[in-house]
């Protein structure tokens, strides 16, 4: 359902993503982890069609994001890490905006929107302007909007940022339910416990390259870690890379 | 004091580290700024020179002009400081961070007030300088006069900004939370409209018609400006007047009055800030309430002919526009501008003109096409140019949505094109009716505007897309950016080209009508060629800017991408 083929993205001299290739099958939840500055958000943005790779290609259900971006985006739900929304719309109006934008059928919009808002505990706030929402409520609203048009793929950047414990639990349950119905997930996160609990497969990115991919057990074996804890595996594989050690690539621009 | 300098450091460092787009922009902005300053200086010198040539009355007029300049300077400062103080003291994004530090509230206030005072007055000071320097040259001011100008302007701006800061602090504590910004926008708007209408209703056109006045006294009485021994502008005026007339010591005393007033006001403001500033900040954190209650979410039937994404954007644009109270003030200002524009045509003394009235009516009507197009450019610059920038940090929604950037831009184009077309056509038809022009001029005006409006809107939306600012706190500021300046310049050139291309053909057609002569075939070919060229330029001006905007915007990534890898 999701495929990256030898994708490269640079910002000036910084090699943010360097020859990344991977695929995620239907109904799978793929967790994407890595140190700060490893290239996770850049990958997410390329998958969502927000930025174009310099080389390589992104395919969504076999549709090229390069040649048919609108068609590819039609089947994606995108959830960014920072919940910037239209402040002067109400929650309900924002959902209507999304429904219109994705050209969904208008029939039963109200019931569907209210059901989704209820699930995200936003029903009482549906007629309030978004500018009055807290950070967590905005994050919930973005999630509600992302699933409203029934996407086949969800691209999620840091899903639990700003959510309270009840919200985190609800989102985990929701993602699992959606995966059971065949929705594929690509989730970038720093919260290793979430990746461990939620994901069928985990990829670790470092300096723009995929350094490991597999189930938690596969990664454990690969890293030679003794405990089954993803944190140990992650630290062993990434050796606590920090932002200051981003791979700067070949400076002559080759 | 330590905290105050520390609190000012981020602003100073940000200014130092800012990359304003390189030398090109700096040169363009710098050259325009210097040209405008120079122009103002030359005009001031010429006006004062002219006054000097009028016996007796000349000097009186010069001093009246200085008094008016100082009053206008002070009023502008108060108006600009009111809105600036509100946003710097209570609405800044870094406010919570600053207030979480151990710096005392009054010191935070003081640091913020310095920022606000500098922001709201630097430009007004720079552009008042050439007027006052001209006085120094004409009246042979001497070194002390120039020293006095610098201090007078500085102290007036300190006094104006501190008054505004105190008014804002008290208002935030007294007014209901959530309404503060709306109320201030409306107050500011009313103040501005009052000044604007007061100026307009004085009918300055009468000043060039002294026959309308029975005596010199009645002529001078209409030039009256507020003067009171307790007004800082009076002290400033007295200081400059005395120094220019050789009484530097008196001038110095008046300067001291300004100094002591500014010092006392600052001390008083700090005491007030210590008592109420933090309380006000806490109150202002309450969510803002909309002045209009949100309605239902069904799209209006009139939009049914549009595609769903187009409907989505039209509805979103209209709702966000009318719920943003800062937009209202702009609408009121534009309405006032239009009323005054039409009123000006109504009071034109056409019958007193030595030129034949019918001829003059048609010349005015032709020039009116250009004037109306410049009004259109100003309105487009304020509303259509920031159309892409107002998406702000929510622009990711556009990038991740299943619509093309081209579609998005054309939706934006039509959202602004239709109301602007109606507005400009109304303007041109109303003024032409007042001028009582001939049918030919009326038809020509309506058709020309029909071509000009889409071109100017396309320039606005296209260049706005090419130079977006998704981080701007206020969309209105977008037009003051490099892209905004480009838009204004290109639109002005385009309008001039169209008007010039039409000028000669219109003249020949009109004259052939007046003298009842037939035009030769070659002339007709040339006339049709000119009109066709004007139409061609307009069509290009619709297509190319949109393509340019699309190309540039498609290539852009969110600013945060570079750091947020």
Contact B297 A37 (CB under 8 A): no
Per-residue pLDDT tens digits for B240-270: 999 999 898 999 999 999 999 999 999 999 9
Mutate to test the interface with B, among A40, A45, A49, A98 (most CBs of B within 10 A): A45
> Does residue A234 sit within a domain?
yes
Number of domains in chain A: 1
Distance CA B480, CA B485 (A): 7
Least Cα distance to B254 among B133, B161, B126, B156 occurs for B156
Task: Return the residue of B nearest to A244 by Cα.
Answer: B563
> Does residue A13 sit within a domain?
yes
Least Cα distance to B501 among B447, B448, B450, B456 occurs for B448
Contact B393 A82 (CB under 8 A): yes
Question: Taking the CB of residue B81, how many other CB atoms lie within 10 A of it?
Answer: 28
Contacting A with CB below 8 Å, chain B residues are 287-288, 290, 294, 297, 299, 307-309, 311-313, 315-316, 319-320, 323-324, 392-394, 396-397, 399-404, 557-558, 560-562, 564-565
pLDDT confidence of residue A252:
36
> Does residue A103 sit within a domain?
no
Distance CA B79, CA B94 (A): 24
Q: Which residues of A touch B551 (CB under 8 A)?
A: none
> Does residue A135 sit within a domain?
no
Phi, psi for A214 (deg, rounded to 5): 155, -170
Question: Taking the CB of residue B107, how many other CB atoms lie within 10 A of it?
Answer: 20
Phi, psi for B523 (deg, rounded to 5): -65, -40
Question: Taking the CB of residue A181, how many other CB atoms lie within 10 A of it?
Answer: 9
pLDDT confidence of residue B32:
84
> For chain A, first and last CA: distance in Å?
32
Average pLDDT, stretch A124-151? 90
- Residue pair A203/A233 in contact by the 8 Å Cβ criterion: no
Helix H, strand E, coil C: the string for A16-29 is EEEEEEEEECCCCE
Backbone conformation region of residue A155, classed left if phi is above 0, alpha if psi is from -120 to 50, else beta: beta
Distance CA B532, CA A201 (A): 65
Which residue of A16, A50, A88 is in closest CB contact with B558? A50
Least Cα distance to B292 among B332, B335, B253, B321 occurs for B321
Average pLDDT, stretch B230-242? 90
A93 touches chain B (CB under 8 A): yes
* Predicted confidence band of residue B353 (pLDDT cuts 50, 70, 90): low
Task: Return the residue of B nearest to A155 by Cα.
Answer: B400
Per-residue pLDDT tens digits for B413-440: 999 999 999 999 999 998 888 888 888 8
Can you spell out the DSSP letters for A42-82? HHHHHHTTSS--SEEEEEETTEETTT-HHHHHHTEEEE-SS
Q: What is the CATH number of the domain that holds A239?
A: 3.40.50.300
Question: Which H or E run includes B5?
Answer: helix B2-17
Average pLDDT, stretch A201-218? 85
Task: Return the residue of B nearest to A113 by Cα.
Answer: B297
CA distance B93 to chain A (A): 14
Average pLDDT, stretch A177-193? 89
Per-residue pLDDT tens digits for B500-517: 999 888 888 887 877 778
Share of chain B above pLDDT 70, in %: 80
Task: Return the residue of A nearest to B324 by Cα.
Answer: A88
Per-residue pLDDT tens digits for A92-137: 989 988 888 888 877 788 889 999 999 999 999 988 888 889 888 9
Which residue of A37, A49, A90 is in closest CB contact with B565? A37
DSSP-assigned beta bridge partners for residue A9: A17
Task: Return the residue of A nearest to B322 by Cα.
Answer: A88
Average pLDDT, chain B: 81
Distance CA A63, CA A48 (A): 13
Task: Return the residue of A nearest to B295 by Cα.
Answer: A127
A70 touches chain B (CB under 8 A): yes
Which residue range(s) make up the domain with A8?
A: 1-75+184-189+196-254
> Does residue A87 sit within a domain?
no
Lowest pLDDT segment from A200-209, B154-163, B216-225: B216-225
Contact B315 A41 (CB under 8 A): no
> Does residue A117 sit within a domain?
no
pLDDT confidence of residue B254:
92
Least Cα distance to B450 among B375, B513, B369 occurs for B369
pLDDT at residue B317 above 90? no
pLDDT confidence of residue B368:
86
> Does residue A209 sit within a domain?
yes
Average pLDDT, stretch B198-224? 55
A207 touches chain B (CB under 8 A): no
Q: Which residues of B touch A96 (CB under 8 A)?
A: 297, 299, 312, 315
Which residue of B288, B403, B565 is in closest CB contact with A101? B403
């Amino acid at each position: 359902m999701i495929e990256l083929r030898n994708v490269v993205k640079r910002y000036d001299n910084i090699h943010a993503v360097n020859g990344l290739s991977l695929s995620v099958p239907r109904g799978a939840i793929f967790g994407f982890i890595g140190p700060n500055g490893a290239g996770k958000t850049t990958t997410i943005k390329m998958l969502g069609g927000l930025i174009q790779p310099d080389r390589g290609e992104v395919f969504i259900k076999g549709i090229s994001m390069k040649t048919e971006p609108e068609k590819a985006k039609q089947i994606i739900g995108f959830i960014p890490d920072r919940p910037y929304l239209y402040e002067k719309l109400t929650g309900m109006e924002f959902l209507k905006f999304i429904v219109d934008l994705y050209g969904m059928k208008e029939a039963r919009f109200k019931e569907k929107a209210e059901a989704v808002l209820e699930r995200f505990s936003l029903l009482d706030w549906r007629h309030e302007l978004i500018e009055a929402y807290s950070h967590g409520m905005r994050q919930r609203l973005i999630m509600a909007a992302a699933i409203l048009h029934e996407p086949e793929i969800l691209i999620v950047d840091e899903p639990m940022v700003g959510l309270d414990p009840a919200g985190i639990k609800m989102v985990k349950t929701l993602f699992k339910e959606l995966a059971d119905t065949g929705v594929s997930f690509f989730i970038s996160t720093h919260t290793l416990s979430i990746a461990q609990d939620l994901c069928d497969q985990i990829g670790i990115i470092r300096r723009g390259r995929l350094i490991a991919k597999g189930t938690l057990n596969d990664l454990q074996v690969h890293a030679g870690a003794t405990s089954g804890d993803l944190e140990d595996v992650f630290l062993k594989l990434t050796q606590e890379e920090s932002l200051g050690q981003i791979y700067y690539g070949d400076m002559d621009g080759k | 004091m330590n905290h105050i300098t520390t609190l000012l450091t981020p602003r100073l460092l940000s200014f130092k580290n800012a990359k304003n787009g390189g030398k090109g922009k700096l040169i363009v902005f710098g050259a325009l700024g210097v040209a405008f300053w120079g122009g103002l200086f030359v005009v001031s010198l010429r006006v004062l020179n002219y006054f000097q040539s009028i016996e007796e009355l000349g000097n009186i007029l010069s001093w009246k002009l200085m008094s008016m300049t100082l009053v206008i300077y002070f009023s502008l400062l108060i108006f600009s400081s009111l809105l600036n103080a509100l946003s710097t003291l209570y609405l800044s994004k870094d406010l919570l961070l600053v207030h979480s530090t151990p710096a005392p509230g009054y010191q935070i206030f003081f640091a913020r007030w310095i920022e606000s005072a500098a922001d709201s007055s630097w430009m007004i000071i720079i552009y008042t300088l050439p007027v006052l320097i001209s006085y120094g040259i004409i009246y042979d001011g001497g070194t002390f006069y120039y020293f006095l100008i610098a201090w007078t302007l500085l102290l007036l701006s300190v006094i104006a900004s501190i008054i505004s800061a105190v008014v804002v602090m008290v208002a935030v504590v007294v007014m209901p939370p959530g309404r503060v910004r709306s109320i201030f926008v409306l107050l500011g708007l009313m103040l501005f409209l009052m000044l604007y209408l007061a100026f307009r209703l004085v009918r300055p056109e009468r000043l060039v018609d002294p026959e309308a006045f029975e005596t010199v006294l009645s002529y001078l009485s209409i030039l009256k400006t507020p003067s009171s021994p307790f007004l800082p502008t009076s002290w400033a005026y007295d200081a400059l007047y005395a120094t220019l007339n050789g009484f530097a010591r008196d001038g110095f005393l008046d300067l001291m009055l300004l100094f002591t007033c500014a010092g006392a006001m600052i001390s008083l403001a700090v005491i007030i800030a210590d008592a109420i500033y933090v309380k006000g900040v806490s109150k202002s954190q309450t969510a803002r309430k909309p002045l209009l209650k949100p309605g239902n979410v069904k799209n209006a039937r009139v939009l049914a002919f549009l595609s769903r994404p187009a409907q989505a954007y039209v509805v979103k644009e209209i709702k966000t526009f009318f719920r943003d109270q800062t937009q209202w003030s702009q609408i009121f200002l534009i309405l006032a501008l239009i009323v005054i524009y039409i009123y000006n045509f109504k009071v034109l003394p056409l019958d007193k003109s030595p030129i034949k009235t019918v001829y003059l009516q048609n010349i005015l009507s032709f020039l009116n096409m250009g004037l109306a197009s410049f009004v259109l450019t100003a309105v487009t610059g304020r509303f259509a140019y920031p159309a892409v920038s107002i998406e702000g940090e929510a622009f990711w929604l556009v990038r991740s949505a299943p619509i093309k950037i081209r579609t998005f831009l054309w939706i934006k184009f039509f959202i602004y094109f239709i109301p602007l077309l109606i507005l400009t056509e109304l303007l041109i038809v109303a003024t032409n009716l007042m001028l009582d022009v001939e049918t030919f001029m009326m038809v020509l005006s309506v058709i020309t505007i029909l071509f000009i409006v889409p071109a100017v809107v396309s320039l606005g939306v296209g260049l706005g897309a090419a130079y977006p600012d998704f981080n701007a706190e206020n969309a209105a500021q977008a037009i003051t950016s490099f892209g905004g300046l480009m838009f204004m310049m290109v639109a002005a050139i385009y309008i001039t080209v169209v008007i010039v291309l039409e000028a000669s053909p219109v003249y020949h057609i009109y004259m052939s009508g007046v003298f009842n002569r037939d035009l030769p075939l070659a002339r007709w070919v040339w006339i049709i060629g000119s009109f066709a060229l004007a139409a061609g330029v307009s069509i290009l001006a619709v297509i190319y800017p949109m393509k340019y905007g699309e190309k540039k915007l498609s290539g852009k990534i969110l600013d945060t991408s570079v750091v947020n890898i």
